[in-house]
Chains A and B, each alone.
Chain A
Amino acid sequence: MKKINRFILVLSVLAFIGCDFNELPTDKLEKGRFFKTANASALEQYCNWFYPKLITGHGAPQDYTMGGMLNLDANADQMLSWEKNDVAFGHHVAPTDKKNTPWNWEVIRACNDFIQNYQLSPESEAIKNRYLGEVLFFKSMDYFNKVKTYGDVPWYETVLEPGSEDLYKGRDSRVMVMDNVLRDINLAIQYLPKKTLVSRVSKDAAIALKARICLFEGTFRRYHNIEGDVKFLEEAYNAAGELMKPEYGYRLFAGSKPAKSYYELFIQANYQDNPEVILSKEYDPKIGKGNNVSRQMAAGETPIGMSRECMENYLSIDGKPYAASPLHSKGEGLIRELKDRDPRLLQTVATPEPGEFTYYLNGNRPAIQKVVGEKDNKGSCATGYAIVKYFNPAEVASDHHIGTVDAPIFRYAEILLIRAEAGAELGKDPELDKTVNALRARVGFNVNLTTSPGSDARLADQFPTIKGSNADLIREIRRERGVELFGEGVRRDDLMRWAAGHLLARKRYGMIIDQTLYTPSEVGALKKAFNVSDISQPIDIYSSRVSSPPIFEDPKHYLFAIPINEIALNPKLTQNTGWE
């Protein structure tokens, strides 16, 4: 009996086990602990999260589509996808939910969290500021995206918590927001070091972003009658000018020869040593992070093509507009259309004519996938103008994701165009020989743009309202931008800031059927599918398939709708005009 008493005694000791829990996660860091202990590496790791969120390039590695920039361009008029693009057609509706919209505030929250807490880090000011610079770069970029999409948006500088009153505040004016963005990107430029790694954000990239933002905001304000346009145009002009300083060392990529330089620029597997690229997005199939760009362009399930409107914007080799050049005649077929043009045309789209610029057509007709088929969709194309910018023939295989082609996010050519456009808008020196003419010279197109170009009726029709003093020059720079930056995802933004949305309400045309390329029955099929009665008329891409024509309502379609649910949750949010 004694033993049992002892046994029970031992048990009662055991029963007094503490009543607190001290479990903590083993694979995660508590917020307070993270910032207090964050060294340079930890701060860099924090910044890494932003890259896949905001740097689009050719889309996410291992994605099946042909990627980000090309898809973005389908929102406008220069590049056409086979299925009509709802946004380009003005057919999009107000989203119910924030899902898949830019009305996502994760990035802003993460930036503000860093901004509020980074000072806790034991690292030196220089290192802390370097990463603060990166965070401010991304915050500026995200707010830029939001302002482009919605106009006025609420501005936040602190991390919101569930009880915060600011959760339910109204929108701040874009003037205030963009002034703040300008302040932040200037700080980022101040804190960030010069470029050493082309795929990491640097001072150079921040200046480029600033130039892009300021050109957008300056022209947007100017063409939508919002105060403060000059300030932003000047900032754009100066930022571009800064990067043009020799100390930054940027120059245009020359390639193997002028006739291929532009094409070659976009099929590089790495831009680390490329003199033109300021920031790039990398892809590497060797480590399972390839892209699908070349494969999808040539053999993909979702054909794309350059629009006729865009094709005609390229000058004739003699420097005259396509329609006005004696080298070309109305109603000529595809092969002829593409010949004797600004050399960038045959480095952007493929010609069926065998030779240097065939890339993959090589005498074959462009396959309009659902009308004139090729067995493996070789040369599949939506308009007849098969795009080859970014296309690397070595990367077309049955396997997905073997694409190595890196994506330029900011390149020097855009900086030059910003300099030229901002200069022309401000009435300052557009430095044409350093900018537009340098771009032409790179491809061996030796027709120089002068400060007093002749008037092109087509351009005047496209851009009737020019507010700068030298309207024809501004129009020519806009043409140049459309040509040089084709497929880089900036076209819709350009049309919006120029208040040129009316271009999106126009019919979309493609090639003129070249009867030497197709059998009579194929010609018949094409004519039927594309509403062509007169063979010298271009094919009408959508009319027979899409009954509702493209529309563009001003001012409605210059901005997008805020998700309906968000307005229901916060009545102080007002909907954009036309979307109520």
Chain B
Amino acid sequence: MILILLFVVVFQIQAEQSYSQSTKISLDMKNTTIEKVLQTIEEKSDFYFLYNSRLVNVDRKVSVRVKNASIAAVLERLFKSQDISYEVKGTQIILSPAEMHEEILAARTDAQQPPAYKSVTGKITDERGEPVIGANIIEKGTTNGTVSDTDGDFSLQVLPDAVLHISYIGYLPQETATAGKTRFQIILQEDTKALQEVVVVGYGVQKKVNLTGAVQMVDGEILNDRPLVNAAKGLQGAIPNLNISFKTGDPTSETKFNIRGATSLNGGSALVLVDGVETDLNLINPQDIESVSVLKDAASAAVYGPRGSFGVILVTTKRGKLNQKLQINYNNNFSWSSPSRLPKGMQADRWLEAINQANINNGGGAYFSQEQIDAVKKHIADPQNNPSAFLDTTGKFTKAGQWGYAGNTDWFKEFYDDAAFMQQHNASLTGGSEKSTYYGSIGYKGQDGLFRYGKDTYKRFNIAFNFSTQITDWLQFSFNTKLNNSDKNVPSNNFGMGSPYYEVYRMFPHIPIYLPNGKDFAGLQGDNFNYNIAGRMALAGRTTTADKDFWYTGGFTLTPVKGLSIKGDYTQNYWFRTHREHKKTIYQIEPRPEAAPTAVGTPNGVWQYRTSDEYRAMNLWGEYDFSLAENHHFKLMTGYNDERKDYNRLEIESQGLVSNDLPNGGLAERFINVKEPGDAWAVKGIFYRINYDYLSKYLLEINGRYDGSSKYPKGKQWGFFPSVSAGWRISEESFYEPIRPAVEYLKMRVSYGDLGNQVVDNNFQYLGMLSSGTYNYVINSTILKGINPSTLASTNITWERVNTINAGFDFAALNNRLSGAFDYYVRRTKDMVISKAYPAVLGSTGGKENLADMRTNGWELMLTWNDKIVDLGGSPLTYGVGLGISDAFSEITRYNNPTRSLADHYEGKRLGEIWGYVTDGFIADEAEAQKMVDIQGRFSKTWLPGDIRYKNLDDDPKITDGVNTVDNPGDRKIIGNSTPRYRYSINLNTGWKGFDLRAIFEGVGKRDIWLSDNLFWGYSGIWWASITDYHVDRSWSKENIHAYYPVPTFSNRSRQIQTKYLQNGAYLRLRDVTLSYTLPATVSKKMDLSQIRLFASGQNLWEATKMFKYIDPDITGKDKNNGEPELSDAGRVYPFSRTFSFGLSVTF
């Protein structure tokens, strides 16, 4: 469907252009008469010639060889040395002797104004000063024109105030006014949108046409004019196989960057570098980003060594340009977010009855008394006269003398605010003098969370400053700094609650928020989890997290001789976090006025930690650029890289606050705990890269890196990782000529190489170590501290090797309007460090060795179509469509699991496999249920009609797990796979008259998901229930035997992993739609501003998925490092949101 849509768009809209300009003629004729040439042109085109053969000599022999030339260029070449003039009128061409032409013109001008033609000459070159041959030069508004010759020179007769329009394929068209000038030096700029794009690669840049690895770049534009909470959100769907996921919907949620699917069983994600330094992208103001490059294969990432083994994301921030006027920009954004797929609360009486029914099915009695249910019904019917909280004198509600509750609360409505508000303000200043450039920005973000009670807030303030200056002609110096401050403030959690986001699902709806007095909270204290989460959060102490992050980079560039540059930089980063959790005691007002309030959450206290991490990185590299025999281009690069990181943290827990309101660790009765965790690692490497190209046609790149890591024992620390890649621009070959009109550009690429991966779960596992511990044990009224016994030293571990083979091609077609790239790759992660399966008598886990291999196969395709309709209502309409599709799956090819136990990975396992039972329908009646006691006794000794019947897949009449191995899995088999397959994204954009509209769709084509959570099953015991109308209406009963869910009980017996409840995790989501409007220049000029833009945007506004109604498909995007999905906390986290926003951007 989507593809069809795309092609319709492509072919429907064909630009209408002046025939003489748009028609391109190719001729290759030798020693032929002009007459023959003219006939050939007539045959090949709609042109026809009018001339007097007596005046115009058409018998002269000529040789002509033109390629895709305009008619003007052909005629110019034919008649250049002749005194023959020509005139093109539509498809008609009139040839006449030069004098006669003058006469005609004279006659014509005689009739009107006196003609004042002047002769203009010029030279057309590209940015490097190379002449551009065959560029079209047209006098604007006329058909008068010419083409540049082999030296790039041209001359033309034009009216005195004429404007010249100069155009050439692959370059941006230019217009020059001729008034007062006759000699022109025209420099055509390469059209970066097309093929001359420069791409940021490791330690340098590379022209896109010369790339041999799998590299893709996106412009910062997609990040700059959107109301983004963080840059990562803006990159979702931008590049195929760059898979960005968030753990939760929290604006500060951890972001995971994955390139090309599963990495290593030990984890490993893409390396994110901002201006060459590893940085948390969440801390970067999206407005500061100039471009983002993604290096996907081994060859491209080679120079980054150990931490780039699963791809690198290079983010370049904005900086000023030399001789650029000071430019100041201010932009802001206001947004409102609300949870995307939230359930609706159940009416309280229906909920109580549903719980009672389930408890009865479960073999118990009615859990809630009839009095309770009746009171709720009465309250719902007449809330005025039946208060939701009252003194329980009978003990039928809670306990005699305590509060009885009979309210009707929709907890989801109460817990979540209607919308979370966020505002952002950014200001930047950029420019440059002759020698220096500068860019400075300042940003503020204030975000309110979703809690209605105990509002959570997040604030961020950041400053960035980039400066560079040319000190002498051989030395350039630069200094970059970034400062980030962020503060998070949420209600703390010290009432034995889980995550409040989960607690809300299991609130009892008959508990009201407030007591009848309307100001004190009800249910702060509650038996068996039936309490009031809203009240607890409103009164709770606060958890505050303050982060301060400082980055400083100083660098230099030396250019001692032409072609050679030596660069160096040194970065230091300090990251500080102060986290303080105030465990406050809160008080429940009792129904009897004489009773003292009951304290909840005792003892009070404060838990805090301070973290100060330090990261240092040094890079030193040189690049030498030279040519041999003119067409052999070389670029040599070599360098040294050294990085280290130290983690430090101090943790203190105190109890018994002197003042319940002042969470100070010292103002407390006692210290409970002091901890001082710390860690460190370092890597070093030397690297090289050799680029060779012949005529930009045959491309070769050789990389290598010799790496050391502190994570391995001496003797195993160093490894050498080479790679090679090659490219062939087929479109430069002469045999390609016939295809060129259709497909202008085609390049094949292959690469092969190894990278080292040093991601292991512990930085010092080659040592046997004793660590400190605080135990859940008391001796002498003191919490017991101690020393944990020594870990097992893994003295034999060394680098994992990530080997990638990649083949792909890039192309551009249809006048560069359609471009794209395709890559196929096989990534083998070899020698992964895993625990060897030792008998338990070893008495220790660990004992790791390089024992496992994994293979990931995948491909990715990116297509973009960019074009414009020249005239739509008087203005051009530009539009573009981008499509990205990618796929990856992984298989374990070597693993130490001799028993092939399903509790672990095994050889031949496809990552993400889901083993489960096959559902065989519902148990029909009592008799069958009785039989199941034996057959399905493994899960329960009680079975009811409406419970699940599992299919027997083996010889054993009972349903079993066998011995839980691949070869004897009992009645289970692989019923699905949770690996997301066929991830795709569609980017649509169009611009017209200052309006720009962009939409980004993103989705997953195929995926299975098993939801084990209470949220999905609803009935999970009285205190863990998450039931909604959805569950009640869809549960089996004697009246509803074709239901979706089994008969409501609190047992897991019918909830084993099985086919029926396997979710289809495929989805399509409208990730972003943004409409912006740039005010006409005339309007902004009046206000003395250079540009004003307004924009409105929506994020995650719509999705199509068959997933369970109340779980957001995004939550499934979270993968554990090793490629296995982690869905267990589904619904217990900050929900994903839909967001509306608007803002403006002003440039001075």
Given contacts A26-B680, A398-B528, A564-B963, 5 further A-B contacts (CB under 8 A): A23-B763, A23-B764, A27-B772, A159-B843, A548-B933
**Chain A stretch 353-392: residues in CB contact (< 8 A) with chain B:** 369-373, 375-376
- Structural contact, A108 and B843, CB atoms closer than 8 A: yes
Enumerate chain B interface residues (CB-CB to A < 8 A).
Answer: 359, 362-367, 369, 395-399, 472, 474-475, 496, 525-528, 558, 560, 566, 568, 600, 603, 620, 640, 642, 644, 648, 655, 670, 672, 676-682, 684, 708-710, 717, 763-764, 767-773, 775-790, 792-793, 836-844, 847, 898-899, 901, 903, 930, 933-934, 937, 941-942, 963-964, 1023
- Structural contact, B363 and A27, CB atoms closer than 8 A: no
Say whether, besides A27-B678, A547-B934, A113 and B790 are in contact (CB < 8 Å): yes
Measured between alpha carbons, how far is A98 from B359 in the docked complex, in Å?
Answer: 34
A518 within 8 A of B: no
Q: Which of B472, B779, B792 contacts A200 (CB 8 A)?
A: B779
Report which residue of B398, B781, B782, B964 has the largest number of chain A beta carbons within 10 angstroms of its beta carbon.
B781
**Nearest CB of chain B from residue A80's CB, rounded to whole Å:** 15
Q: Which of A281, A287, A299, A566 contacts B672 (CB 8 A)?
A: A287
- Structural contact, A375 and B396, CB atoms closer than 8 A: yes
- Structural contact, A15 and B620, CB atoms closer than 8 A: yes
- Structural contact, A31 and B678, CB atoms closer than 8 A: no
Closest residue on chain A to residue B849 by CB atoms? A162
**Nearest CB of chain A from residue B589's CB, rounded to whole Å:** 15
A126 within 8 A of B: no
- Structural contact, B963 and A376, CB atoms closer than 8 A: no
A394 within 8 A of B: no
Q: Which of B603, B787, B903, B930 contacts A96 (CB 8 A)?
A: B903
**Nearest CB of chain A from residue B544's CB, rounded to whole Å:** 21
Could you say which residues of chain B place their CB within 8 Å of the CB of A14?
Answer: 620
What are 29 A-B interface contacts by the 8 Å CB criterion? A3-B472, A8-B560, A15-B640, A19-B708, A21-B709, A23-B680, A25-B763, A27-B677, A27-B678, A28-B769, A31-B770, A48-B775, A51-B784, A52-B776, A60-B776, A110-B789, A164-B842, A282-B779, A287-B781, A287-B782, A287-B783, A370-B359, A371-B365, A398-B528, A399-B525, A401-B496, A545-B941, A565-B901, A565-B903
Measured between alpha carbons, how far is A30 from B708 in the docked complex, in Å?
Answer: 22
- Structural contact, B789 and A29, CB atoms closer than 8 A: no
- Structural contact, A49 and B841, CB atoms closer than 8 A: no
Q: Which of A69-77, A99-107, A426-434 contacts B (4 or more CB under 8 A)?
A: A99-107
- Structural contact, B776 and A23, CB atoms closer than 8 A: no
Q: How many residues of A contact B (CB 8 A)?
A: 94
A245 within 8 A of B: no
Say whether, besides A21-B708, A52-B775, A61-B777, A369 and B364 are in contact (CB < 8 Å): yes
A250 within 8 A of B: no
Say whether, besides A167-B842, A399-B525, A548-B941, A370 and B363 are in contact (CB < 8 Å): yes
- Structural contact, A34 and B787, CB atoms closer than 8 A: yes
Q: Which of A26, A31, A373 contacts B768 (CB 8 A)?
A: A31
- Structural contact, A400 and B677, CB atoms closer than 8 A: no
Q: Which of B677, B771, B937 contacts A548 (CB 8 A)?
A: B937
A179 within 8 A of B: no
Could you say which residues of chain A place their CB within 8 Å of the CB of B644?
Answer: 23
Say whether, besides A162-B842, A398-B527, A547-B934, A28 and B771 are in contact (CB < 8 Å): yes
Measured between alpha carbons, how far is A262 from B898 in the docked complex, in Å?
Answer: 54
Measured between alpha carbons, how far is A193 from B773 in the docked complex, in Å?
Answer: 25
From DSSP, what is the main secondary structure of chain A's interface residues? loop
Could you say which residues of chain B place their CB within 8 Å of the CB of A373?
Answer: 364-367
A46 within 8 A of B: yes
- Structural contact, A7 and B475, CB atoms closer than 8 A: yes
Measured between alpha carbons, how far is A25 from B780 in the docked complex, in Å?
Answer: 31
**Chain A stretch 45-65: residues in CB contact (< 8 A) with chain B:** 45-49, 51-52, 55, 60-62
- Structural contact, B603 and A154, CB atoms closer than 8 A: no
Measured between alpha carbons, how far is A546 from B844 in the docked complex, in Å?
Answer: 40
Measured between alpha carbons, how far is A564 from B898 in the docked complex, in Å?
Answer: 13
Say whether, besides A21-B708, A108-B843, A287 and B963 are in contact (CB < 8 Å): no
- Structural contact, B764 and A103, CB atoms closer than 8 A: no
- Structural contact, B600 and A399, CB atoms closer than 8 A: yes
Say whether, besides A23-B681, A110-B789, A160-B841, A284 and B781 are in contact (CB < 8 Å): yes
Could you say which residues of chain B place their CB within 8 Å of the CB of A28?
Answer: 764, 769-772
**Chain A stretch 256-299: residues in CB contact (< 8 A) with chain B:** 281-284, 286-289, 299
Measured between alpha carbons, how far is A19 from B1023 in the docked complex, in Å?
Answer: 59
Pick the 9 closest A-B CB pairs, nearest first: A109-B843, A48-B786, A370-B364, A26-B678, A105-B843, A110-B789, A21-B710, A282-B778, A31-B768
- Structural contact, B708 and A400, CB atoms closer than 8 A: no
Could you say which residues of chain B place their CB within 8 Å of the CB of A97?
Answer: 901, 903, 964
Report which residue of B676, B837, B840 has the largest number of chain A beta carbons within 10 angstroms of its beta carbon.
B840
Measured between alpha carbons, how far is A234 from B200 in the docked complex, in Å?
Answer: 84
A570 within 8 A of B: yes
Report which residue of A106, A166, A563 has the largest number of chain B beta carbons within 10 angstroms of its beta carbon.
A106
Closest residue on chain A to residue B583 by CB atoms? A288
Q: Which of A45, A46, A84, A156 contacts B841 (CB 8 A)?
A: A156
- Structural contact, A4 and B899, CB atoms closer than 8 A: no
- Structural contact, A8 and B365, CB atoms closer than 8 A: no
Could you say which residues of chain B place their CB within 8 Å of the CB of A62?
Answer: 776
Say whether, besides A25-B767, A30-B769, A284-B778, A568 and B899 are in contact (CB < 8 Å): yes
Could you say which residues of chain B place their CB within 8 Å of the CB of A4?
Answer: 474-475, 558, 560
- Structural contact, A46 and B777, CB atoms closer than 8 A: no
Could you say which residues of chain A place their CB within 8 Å of the CB of B787?
Answer: 29, 34, 42, 45-46, 48-49
- Structural contact, B710 and A11, CB atoms closer than 8 A: no
Could you say which residues of chain A place their CB within 8 Å of the CB of B847?
Answer: 162
Q: Which of A51, A61, A96, A369 contacts B964 (CB 8 A)?
A: A96
Closest residue on chain A to residue B556 by CB atoms? A7
Measured between alpha carbons, how far is A13 from B60 in the docked complex, in Å?
Answer: 73
- Structural contact, B366 and A49, CB atoms closer than 8 A: no
Measured between alpha carbons, how far is A373 from B781 in the docked complex, in Å?
Answer: 38
Closest residue on chain A to residue B794 by CB atoms? A162
- Structural contact, A199 and B780, CB atoms closer than 8 A: yes
